[in-house]
């Protein structure tokens, strides 16, 4: 389980990333269907995190449930510096994955997602999009990952991206108290586009980011 504070700053500062996410999410699909995990038991009711001097606290809701089964088209990449990550993500979502989806006439079945390997330079990450099936036509750099449904803690987080580590802290605390262990790497799903259809920034407290933690 890792805190991805470096990533949250990139999401805030990279307009290229936002534009790419919107293009890929909507490309060829009038309606985007989100993977729907089975209804789970809410183990932490909607609560407020910790406020900062300039921001009110985020809303954090942890659910003990099953993660959805997904087919994910993704790319691995790295960046030598913090500043380069946003450009790399924009290229993956807006160019490489967009080409793969269009070339194979695929449909996106969920929101953009990402795995982060480490927090210090050089940075290693994987960025993906859930799709309805694996494409037969290859695009350089694109791989397919099958995510099985399984036990998971899912954090529904509403608030500024830079406060996202509070969601990780909440899960870490719960897992420690309940003696639960991870069953695989955690990942993030960017449910709500931070830029609306008119190109305006959405209220950060209306933006939903899901943090998914597979557990044993």
Q: What is the mean pLDDT of residues 15-29?
A: 47
C-alpha distances in angstroms, 111 versus 35, 89, 156?
9, 14, 14
Distance CA 76, CA 88 (A): 10
Return the pLDDT at 182.
94
Q: What is the mean pLDDT of residues 101-105?
A: 97
Return the pLDDT at 134.
98
C-alpha distances in angstroms, 121 versus 82, 94, 147?
7, 24, 28
pLDDT confidence tier of residue 87, bands split at 50, 70 and 90: confident
Q: For the chain, give every domain's residue range.
A: 5-214
Q: Is the pLDDT of residue 116 over 60?
A: yes
pLDDT confidence tier of residue 74, bands split at 50, 70 and 90: very high
Return the pLDDT at 155.
94
Mean per-residue pLDDT over the chain, rounded: 81
Return the pLDDT at 35.
44
Lowest mean pLDDT among 10-14, 75-79, 105-109, 193-197: 10-14
Q: What is the CATH number of domain 5-214?
A: 3.20.80.10
pLDDT confidence tier of residue 185, bands split at 50, 70 and 90: very high
Question: 59 pairs with which residues across the strands?
Answer: 48, 158
pLDDT confidence tier of residue 66, bands split at 50, 70 and 90: very high
* Torsions phi, psi for 64 (to 5 deg): -90, 110
Distance CA 159, CA 5 (A): 14
Helix (H, G, I), strand (E, B) or coil at 12: helix
Lowest mean pLDDT among 87-91, 172-176, 203-207: 87-91
Q: Is the pLDDT of residue 11 over 90?
A: no
């Amino acid at each position: 389980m890792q805190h991805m504070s470096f990533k949250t700053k990139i999401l805030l500062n990279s307009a290229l990333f936002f534009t790419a996410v919107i293009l890929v999410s909507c490309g060829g699909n009038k309606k985007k269907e989100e993977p729907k995990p089975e209804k789970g038991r809410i183990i932490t009711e909607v609560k407020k995190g910790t406020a900062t001097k300039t921001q009110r606290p985020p809303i954090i809701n942890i659910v003990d449930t099953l993660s959805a089964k997904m087919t994910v088209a993704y790319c691995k990449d790295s960046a030598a510096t913090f500043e380069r990550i946003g450009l790399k993500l924009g290229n993956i979502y807006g160019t490489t994955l967009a080409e793969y989806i269009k070339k194979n006439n695929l449909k996106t079945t969920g929101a953009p997602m990402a795995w982060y390997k480490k927090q210090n330079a050089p940075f290693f990450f994987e960025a993906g999009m859930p799709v309805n099936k694996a494409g037969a036509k290859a695009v350089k750099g694109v791989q397919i990952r099958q995510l099985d449904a399984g036990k998971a803690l899912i954090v529904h987080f509403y608030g500024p991206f830079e406060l996202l580590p509070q969601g990780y802290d909440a899960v870490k605390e719960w897992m420690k108290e309940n003696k639960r262990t991870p069953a695989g790497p955690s990942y993030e799903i960017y449910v709500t586009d931070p830029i609306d259809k008119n190109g305006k920034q959405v209220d950060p407290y209306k933006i939903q980011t899901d943090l998914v933690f597979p557990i044993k």
